């Protein structure tokens, strides 16, 4: 159950200036929920957050500086949720993919958790590209035991030998991290969940087509019917973050129009799928 402080509290959203993050902010604003926005770019003109931070989340120094300002300027015990949407595609350098999609999510969450109150929540954004996380669970458990510096060294040594491309690896890792974090938060009253979309109509979709290949994306869309709208993903994120989801914890919620259900139950035959590209940018 949310505490009185968090029941109508502020939500911090990363990746807030475009795509899914922007759609989450629009929904929260429509519900009169105060927001704090974080992005590598400027604040969108149609949002009026309590504060906007321009922050390169691949830099721990910039995250530290942002958290210091947050601690000075806001009552962080009234923060209702942290929504980690920010991410980069596999067309970026492999080191940056790990930094932004995994290590920044972990670092920012751990920086803020000591200040949060029971009833608050964390929502991370994965991808259906990460659906195979169970095949490499022990690898992710080992990686996520390392601090960021050692994790980067691990990745530098193994990024081309893990069996999947860096983007897939990062999304599998953030799914596992979210489940581990839910366990780490036991007894605090703070929840952590992860949501994985399929293809979404955002400015990044052409980049994902470049990363994965048109044939593979179109094949997925032939089973789900179409790409999602950003607001359709934001609906589910809003529910996990501040909706009536108080006993949902450590959960991996797939929001892809049914495509993954087809893989799991057999009405989608992945052996017929065009092979995806395996993007690895040094």
Domain count, the chain: 1
* φ/ψ (deg, to 5) at 161: -125, 10
167 classed as catalytic: yes
Widest Cα–Cα separation across the chain: 55
The CATH number that applies at residue 193 is 3.40.50.720
Mean pLDDT of 194-215: 94
Q: How confident is the model at residue 3 (pLDDT cuts 50, 70, 90)?
A: low
Task: Give the residue from 117, 118, 104 showing the smallest Cα distance to 55.
Answer: 104
In tens, the pLDDT along 4-60 reads 456 689 999 999 999 999 999 999 999 999 999 999 999 999 999 999 999 999 999
Q: What is the model's pLDDT at position 4?
A: 47
The answer to whether position 279 is within a domain reads: no
Is 258 part of a structural domain of the chain? yes
Q: Tens of pLDDT along 94-109?
A: 999 999 999 999 999 9
Instruction: Quote the pLDDT of residue 5.
Output: 53
Residues 180 and 144: beta-carbon distance below 8 Å: yes
Catalytic-role residue among 107, 140, 167, 259: 167
**pLDDT exceeds cutoff 90 at 246:** yes
Could you list the residue range(s) of the whole structural domain that residue 26 is in?
A: 10-272
What's the confidence (pLDDT) of residue 278? Answer: 76
Q: According to DSSP H, which parts of the chain are helical?
A: 19-30, 60-73, 94-98, 104-112, 137-143, 148-158, 166-184, 205-212, 214-224, 230-242, 259-265
Look at residue 280 and tell me if it is in a domain: no
198 HSE (CA, 13 A, CB side): 23
pLDDT of residue 2: 53
Q: Which residue is associated with the tokens 């505490």?
A: 3
Tell whether 281 is covered by a domain.
no
Chain segment 255-282, per-residue pLDDT in tens: 999 999 999 999 999 999 999 887 899 9
Q: Is residue 193 within 8 Å of residue 242, measured between CB atoms? A: no
Q: Say if 2 falls within a structural domain.
A: no
Helix axes 104-112, 60-73, angle to 10 degrees: 30
Q: Answer whether 36's CB lies under 8 Å from 50's CB.
A: yes
Domain for residue 209, yes or no?
A: yes
Q: What pLDDT, on the 0 to 100 scale, is given for residue 9? A: 96
Mean of pLDDT values over 143-169: 97
Does a structural domain hold residue 58? Answer: yes
Does residue 282 belong to any structural domain of this protein? no
Closest CA relative to residue 174, chosen from 258, 121, 99: 99
Grouping H, G, I as helix, E, B as strand and the rest as coil, residue 151 is: helix
Structure tokens at 178: 């979210």
pLDDT attached to residue 159? 96
DSSP 70-137: HHHHS-GGGEEEEEE-----TTSBHHHHHIIIIIHHHHHHHHHGGG--TT-EEEEE--GGGTTGGGGH
């Amino acid at each position: 159950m949310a505490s009185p402080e968090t029941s109508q509290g502020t939500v911090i959203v990363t990746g807030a200036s475009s795509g899914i993050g922007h759609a989450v902010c629009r929904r929260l604003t429509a519900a009169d929920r105060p927001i704090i926005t974080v992005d590598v770019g400027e604040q969108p003109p149609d949002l009026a957050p309590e504060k906007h931070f321009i922050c390169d989340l691949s830099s721990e120094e910039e995250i530290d500086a942002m958290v210091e300002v947050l601690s000075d300027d806001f009552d962080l015990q009234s923060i209702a949720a942290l929504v980690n949407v920010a991410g980069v595609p596999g067309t970026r350098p492999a080191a940056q993919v790990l930094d932004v999609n995994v290590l920044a999510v972990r670092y920012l969450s751990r920086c803020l958790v000591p200040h949060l109150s029971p009833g608050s929540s964390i929502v991370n954004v994965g991808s259906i590209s990460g659906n195979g996380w169970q095949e490499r669970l022990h690898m992710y458990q080992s990686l996520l035991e390392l601090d960021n510096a050692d994790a980067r060294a691990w990745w530098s040594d193994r990024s081309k030998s893990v069996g999947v491309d860096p983007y897939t690896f990062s999304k599998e890792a953030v799914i596992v991290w979210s489940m581990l974090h839910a366990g780490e938060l036991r007894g605090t009253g703070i929840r952590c969940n992860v949501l994985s979309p399929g293809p979404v109509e955002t400015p990044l979709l052409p980049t994902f087509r470049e990363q994965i290949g048109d044939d593979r994306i179109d094949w997925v869309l032939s089973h789900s019917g179409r790409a999602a709208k950003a607001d359709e993903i934001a609906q589910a994120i809003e529910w996990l973050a501040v909706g009536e989801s108080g006993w949902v914890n450590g959960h991996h919620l797939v929001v892809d129009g049914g495509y993954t259900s087809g893989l799991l139950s057999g009405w989608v035959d992945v052996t017929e799928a065009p092979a995806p590209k395996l993007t690895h940018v040094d």
